[in-house]
Amino acid sequence: MTDQSRRPDHPDHLDHPGHLAAPTTADPDLVDLLTGLFADHRASRPTPTAVVDLDRALWGRLEELGLTRLTGSEASGGSGAGWVEAAALLGLAAGAAAPVPLAEHDLLGGWLLEAAGLPNDGGLRAVCRPDPSGVALNVTWARDASSIVALWEDRDEWRVADVPVGRVGLEERRNLAGEPSDTVEFDLADLEAGVVVDHAIGEQFHLRGALARCAQVVGAMERIVEITLTHANDRVQFGRPIARFQAVQHLVADIAAETALARAATDAAVARAAASDWQDGGMLFAVAVAKSCVGHSASVVVRGAHQVLGAIGTTLEHELHTLTKPILARRTEFGSLHEWDETLTALATSAGHDRLWNLMTTGRATSRRRPAE
């Protein structure tokens, strides 16, 4: 292999098994900043309620720090960070149950605007994929946005339109977590006037959204591990902490193990996305593995946590429901668990037994490696 093929962005490098395990550690200073910011938010927030609304004070603080445009290019006013940093931000925000549209505004909406060459000149943005009639369901944070970035499939073309919220019909609804999740109806003329973008943009949108949701769910699950460990050690029954009971130990161990599995799968997909800027053909497999692992782990973590905490975990005053309900809501977004399991099954069966290992280690059933020159 030539020296050139050792470059991280070289196609041959992306076929190497170690690529899937590349480090996904964000800058320690950024992590410290985010940890402190969201710890303050957790400590100062009011008693949780069944209804979740946008925290505009927190959003303003994030704007001041340049975190609402973390992955936007510096030329467009963003901070120029990548997916490793974005995943850290999403995870820590989700672990603090922060009601802010970071994924929608930056990773998806902002990315679409840049891809289409449209201005991203301030304001809060929601994002969606309307159906052919111009209707989009379950558009999170739509009512709070100044405009909605729509990715619309117009026959054999993909179009991106940035439509002011005042020009859309909006029916207010909420998802399982109590967050705004509205039905939006566009004027087809606004969508038809959108900018035509490459087909790869349309294909990547679904994968990017799915991986963003994985990062959020894993962040929430890691906070749940902390909560269940603390509760099991502090709660005393029959004269000893419940952490001393074997049944509780098994539940906590399952929660921690499933969270670690979900984290590993998500980090592997983030590493591939960051190293290849989403150009690697193995992204579908990597995201499918992450979405499947996270979805199955979420069931174990949510169920186990509520078993460990018992009745107190179901009260509005307790933090647990601010984490478990968003987990259940987000694991079905950008493809259900069943759909992603079917995708994995199709990829594995198409690879066959003789190419399955290559699929697992590189994300592709066939290698793109060329003979050494």
pLDDT digit string, tens, across residues 8-37: 444 444 444 444 445 568 889 999 999 999
147-154 vs 125-128, strand pairing mode? parallel
| pLDDT score at 5 | 38
pLDDT above 90 (res 6)? no
Dist. CA 323–CA 306, nearest whole Å: 11
Mean pLDDT computed over every residue of the chain:
90
**Low-confidence winner among 139-153, 210-224, 355-369 (lowest mean pLDDT):** 355-369
**What is the predicted pLDDT for the residue at 372?**
41
Architecture of domain 1-100+198-368: Up-down Bundle (1.20)
Average pLDDT of the segment spanning 355-363: 84
How far out from the chain centre does Cα 310 lie? 28
pLDDT confidence bin for 77, thresholds 50/70/90: confident
Amino acid 367: pLDDT: 54
What is the average pLDDT across 302-312?
96
Q: Does the pLDDT at position 329 exceed 90?
A: yes
Contact 294, 337 (CB under 8 A): no
Reply yes or no on whether the pLDDT at 144 is more than 70: yes
Share of the chain above pLDDT 70, in %: 91
More confident residue, 109 or 23: 109
**b/e burial code for range 17-27 (CB count within 10 A of at least 16 → b):** eebbebebebe
pLDDT of residue 49: 87
Is pLDDT of 309 > 80? yes
Cα-Cα-Cα-Cα dihedral sign, residues 154, 157, 158, 160: negative
Per-residue pLDDT of 187-217, as tens digits, reads: 999 999 999 999 999 989 999 999 999 999 9
Under 8 Å between Cβ of 152 and 158: yes
Q: How many CB atoms lie within 10 A of CB 186?
A: 23
For the stretch 42-59, pLDDT in tens is 999 888 888 999 999 999
Q: Which residues of 141-163 are buried (b: 16+ CB within 10 A; e: fewer)?
A: bbbbbebbbbbbeeeeebbbbbb
Six-digit token string for 89? 């931000």
Q: How confident is the model at residue 258 (pLDDT cuts 50, 70, 90)?
A: very high
Instruction: Judge whether residue 235 has pLDDT over 60.
Output: yes
pLDDT at 333 > cutoff 80: yes
Q: What is the tens place of the pLDDT at every residue in 240-253? A: 999 999 999 999 99
pLDDT at 312 over 70: yes
Which residues does residue 320 pair with via DSSP β-bridges, in sequence order?
none
pLDDT score recorded for residue 11: 42
pLDDT at residue 17 in the model? 43
Single out the residue of 105, 100, 102, 98 nearest to residue 40, CA to CA. 98
Query: Taking CA 351 as the corner, what is the angle to CA 348 and CA 356, rounded to the nearest 5 degrees?
Result: 70
Q: How confident is the model at residue 177, as a pLDDT?
A: 95
Q: How confident is the model at residue 4 (pLDDT cuts 50, 70, 90)?
A: very low
Predicted TM-score (pTM) of this structure: 0.91
